Amino acid sequence: QVQQEQWGAGLLKPSETLSLTCGVSDDSMTSSSYWWGWIRQPPGQGLEWIGEINHSGSTNYNPSLRSRVTLSADTSKKQFSLKMTSVTAADTAVYYCARVVVPFGEAHYFDYWGQGARVTVSS
Amino acid sequence: DIVMTQSPDSLAVSLGERATVHCKSSQSVFYTSNNKNYLAWYQQKPGQPPKLLFHWASTRESGVPDRFSGSGSGTDFTLTISSLQAEDVAVYYCQQYYSTPKTFGQGTKVEIK
C-alpha cells in the first residue's frame, strides 16, 4: 500500500514562498502508470486541484495558479515537491499530495492521498 | 472549466435508510472513443484526506462496501448508499477528469438523522 508523508513550513507571511514535499513509500514513483499531484482545501471548503507531475518531469497545472506554482520530482529520493510563490491569505489551506492513476496515458483520478499539510498565511 | 455541482449540500438520513447524492457537470464528461464517463467519487471523514470510492463513475474501488453504488452518464451522476451506517457519516465529493483543470463538486455532507 502506498503511504505518503508530507512536510514543509506551516506558517507563512504574505509574499513568502510555500514549499512542501511528499515522500512515496514504494517504487511506484518511477512507473508510467502514475502521476503525482497536489490538491488543496481551504478551511471549511471544497477541493481545488493545483497540478501534477510524472517521473519524467512532465507537468500539468491549474491555469488559475500556474503563474505561481512549480512542481518538481526526484525519483531517486522518491519525493515530489510543490512551490508556490507570493502567497496571500487566500492560499491558507490544507495541502494534499496524491497519487494520480494513468489508465490511458493521461492522469485522471487520485487513488492514494497524503495526510495533508496545514498551511496558514498570516502577517 | 467544467463546473461540478452537487445536490443537496447536506442531507440527514436515518440509519439503515438510503442516502442519495447527485452530481451534475456543466458539460458532458463521457468520452465516446472508449465509452467511459470521466468521473470519480470520494469520501472525506473529518480530519482525514479524501478516499477514492469510484472511478469511471461506477467502478467501485477495492474494499468499498457494496452498499455504495455509483451511476449516471454524460452530465448527471448519482452516488447511492443503500443502507446508511454510522461510519458513512462524511462529506462526499465528485470529481471530473475529462479535461484540465480537474474540478470537484462543492461536497455533500451526509449525517445521521
Please write the tens of the pLDDT for every residue from A16-75: 999 999 999 888 888 999 999 999 999 999 999 999 999 999 999 999 999 999 999 999
pLDDT band at A4 (very low <50, low <70, confident <90, very high): low
Q: Cell numbers at residue A7, please? A: 512536510
A-chain CB neighbours of B35 within 8 Å are none
Give the residue, A8 or B62, on which the prediction is more confident: B62
Query: What's residue A112's pLDDT?
Result: 94
A-chain CB neighbours of B93 within 8 Å are 46-47
Give the residue, A64 or A4, on which the prediction is more confident: A64
Give the residue, A9 or A83, on which the prediction is more confident: A83
Query: What's residue A104's pLDDT?
Result: 80
Run of H or E including B97: none
Whether residue A7 has pLDDT greater than 80? no
B-chain CB neighbours of A60 within 8 Å are 100
Site from A38, A40, A47, A52 to mutate, B interface, most B CB atoms within 10 angstroms: A47
Is B38 close to A64, i.e. CB distance below 8 A?
no
Q: What is the b/e burial string over B48-84, where b = at least 16 CB atoms within 10 angstroms of the residue's CB?
A: ebbbbbbbbbbebbeebeeebbbebeebebbbebeeb
B52 near B68, Cβ under 8 Å?
Answer: no
Long-range contacts of B5-10 (CB under 8 A, 24+ apart): B5/B105, B5/B106, B6/B92, B6/B93, B6/B94, B6/B105, B6/B106, B6/B107, B6/B108, B7/B108, B8/B108, B9/B106, B9/B107, B9/B108, B9/B109, B10/B108, B10/B109, B10/B110, B10/B111
Q: How many residues would you count in chain B? A: 113
Query: What's residue A103's pLDDT?
Result: 82
B82 near B70, Cβ under 8 Å?
Answer: no
A74-122: pLDDT as tens digits: 999 999 999 999 999 999 999 999 999 998 878 799 999 999 999 999 9
Distance CA A34, CA A20 (A): 20
Closest CA relative to residue B3, chosen from B109, B113, B102, B112: B102
How many other C-beta atoms lie within 10 A of the C-beta of residue B44? 19
Which residues of chain B are modeled with pLDDT < 50? none
Query: What's residue B9's pLDDT?
Result: 98
